[in-house]
Amino acid sequence: MNAKTPIVGAVDELRRYVRARRAAGERIGLVPTMGALHAGHLSLVDAARQAADRVIVTIFVNPAQFGPNEDFARYPRTLAADVEKLCSVAADLVFAPSVDEIYPPGFSTKVVLEGPATADLEDRFRPTHFSGVATVVTKLLNQAQADVAVFGEKDYQQLLVIKRLARDLDIATEILGAPTLREADGLAMSSRNVYLSREDRERAKQLHGEMSEAARHILKGENIGAATGAARDALTVAGFEVDYLEARHAETLAPVSSLAGGPMRLLVAAKLGATRLIDNIAVQS
């Protein structure tokens, strides 16, 4: 059994820890999360460990990134279980601040975004989401002053938004993406999968299935609109309400019309009942 991973809730304590480790010549890795941890998160801890001597995991369900009709109140909060899991992968510190620690009375600043945050994907359906993400991530990066921070490719548009903001705001922390972990049937691991009913969980595997099929067709030379349209139709027939399923340039998220335009990514968001799932895959052989 690993020693228990310590938890701190105050920015001062986090900074003291980072200063001490730095003074000992160590590199710091940061893994920001909203908790409800699963194997996908633990793989981010492993990725951070490859790039740093110490790994700090933040757990904060950030109210600013939820829209008024979204699942902030019911988002799973499982701190004790999360800390157990983090002990099992030997994370070095958990930073679990309160809402007041992050947004004290009088807090009045927001990060305003363009570029990948306005690609007409998630932003079309969650117009205030990325500003909330960017504001909290900017704060966490400033608070921790880590050498590297790791984010999952599962939230692909978010990853590009964070890379862009770190470059634009001269944040010294290197931002790394880590691959999506999937269940045996292909469903991307997500804290929101627990919302799915048994039937919807069975159906949910088709999201990755149809995306993979569309990618195969595109790689064989099929028209991109036809391939993504067929995937959208198949998901709709299977009972999904598809918000978007699109092929985009993997670095800029600009719409693409052929593989010759550079690396391509397929991105999807679709609802099964009240549960909204997002996923993405690279189109590559």
Annotated binding site: 34-41, 65, 152-155, 158, 181, 189-192
Strands 241-249 and 264-272, sheet pairing: antiparallel
Residue whose C-alpha is closest to residue 252's, from 131, 122, 116, 153: 116
Token reading at 158: 């978010």
Taking the C-alpha atoms of residue 276 and residue 266, their distance in angstroms, rounded to an integer, is: 17
Min. distance of Cβ 19 from ligand PAF in angstroms?
Answer: 23
Q: Between residues 191 and 228, which has the closer beta carbon with respect to ligand PAF?
A: 191
Taking the C-alpha atoms of residue 240 and residue 235, their distance in angstroms, rounded to an integer, is: 5
Min. distance of Cβ 24 from ligand PAF in angstroms?
Answer: 27
Can you give the binding site for ligand PAF, defined by CB under 6 A?
Answer: 32-34, 62, 65, 133, 136-137, 155, 158
Q: Between residues 133 and 224, which has the closer beta carbon with respect to ligand PAF?
A: 133
41 has catalytic annotation:
yes
Q: Between residues 26 and 71, which has the closer beta carbon with respect to ligand PAF?
A: 71
Q: Which of 41, 129, 208, 217 is catalytic?
A: 41
Strand ordering across the sheet containing 241-249: 241-249, 264-272, 275-283
* E strand map for 102-163: 148-152
Q: What are phi and psi of 202, to 5 degrees?
A: -65, -45
Distance, CA of 167 to chain centre? 18
Min. distance of Cβ 134 from ligand PAF in angstroms?
Answer: 9
Which segments are annotated as binding site for beta-alanine? 65
Residue whose C-alpha is closest to residue 76's, from 34, 132, 136: 34
Q: Between residues 133 and 281, which has the closer beta carbon with respect to ligand PAF?
A: 133
Classify residue 160 by burial, with Cβ atoms within 10 Å: 0-12, 13-18, 19+. buried
Min. distance of Cβ 140 from ligand PAF in angstroms?
Answer: 8
Q: List CB contacts of 132: < 8 A, sequence separation 6 or more.
A: 62, 63, 64, 65, 66
Q: Between residues 62 and 206, which has the closer beta carbon with respect to ligand PAF?
A: 62
Question: At residue 269, what is the residue type?
Answer: A
Min. distance of Cβ 154 from ligand PAF in angstroms?
Answer: 8
Would you please indicate which residues are annotated as catalytic (active-site) residues?
41
